[in-house]
Amino acid sequence: MASVESLLCNSCGAPLDVPASANFVKCNHCNTQLQIHRETGVTFTENIEKLAKTTQNLTDQIAKLTAQQKVADLDRNWELEQQNFMITGKHGNKRLPDSTGAAIGGVVVTVFGLFWTIMAFGITSNSPFGGAGIFPFFGILFIGFGIFSAFSTHQKAGEYQRAKSKYNRERTEMRRQVEQHGETR
C-alpha cells in the first residue's frame, strides 16, 4: 500500500490526504488545483493558478522590458545614423540638412557668382592687357559651386527625411508594442 501524506490546502486550509508519489492534487473543499512541493523535511502545497499568474506577470514584464530595450536600441542607432547626414557649415558647425537651407544657400552663392562675373567682366573688359582675364572665371566657378552645393544638399536633405520617416514609423510601432505589453499586466 502506498504511503499517504497529510497536508493542508494552500488556498482554503482544508486537510488533504495525498499519496506520497503525487505531484499535483485538487482540493475537495475549494476545488483549487495545487502543486505539491517536497523539500528537505518539509512538504507543502502551492496554488497552481497563482503560479500561472505570477509566471504570466513575469513573462509580460520581460516582454515589456524587451520591447523598451528595442526602442532604446533604435533611438541609439538613429543618433549614430544622423551623423552620416550631417553637413558642415563654413565655420565648421555641423547641422542636419534641410531643403530650404539648401535652396537659400545655393541662391546666395549663385547670385554672388553672377555679381562677381558681371563685375569682373566690367573691370577687365577695359583692361589694357586685352581680354577678360581670369577673374570672371572665378565667378563662373562660384555659380557652378552654388548650383552643385544646392543640388547635393537638397538631395541629402531628402535622404535624411526618408530615413527620419522610417525611424519614426519603426519607433511608433515599437512604442505601440510597449504599450500593449503594459496593458496585459
DSSP state of 38: E
pLDDT the model gives residue 29: 92
Q: Are 170 and 96 in contact (CB under 8 A)?
A: no
pLDDT in tens, the chain (185 residues): 568 889 999 889 999 999 988 999 999 999 989 988 888 888 878 888 887 888 888 988 898 898 889 999 999 999 999 999 888 877 888 888 888 888 888 888 889 989 988 888 777 766 655 555 677 788 888 889 889 988 988 899 999 999 999 999 999 998 888 888 766 44
DSSP character string of 60-106: HHHHHHHHHHHHHHHHHHHHHHHHHH-EE-TTS-EE---HHHHHHHH
Q: Are 23 and 5 in contact (CB under 8 A)?
A: no
pLDDT the model gives residue 72: 94
Closest CA to 154 of 90, 93, 103: 103
Tell me the Cα Rg of the chain.
38
Q: How far apart are CA 115 and CA 120, in angstroms?
A: 8
Q: Are 178 and 63 in contact (CB under 8 A)?
A: no
Q: pTM of the entire structure?
A: 0.57
pLDDT the model gives residue 140: 87
Query: Which grid coordinates belong to 85?
Result: 547626414
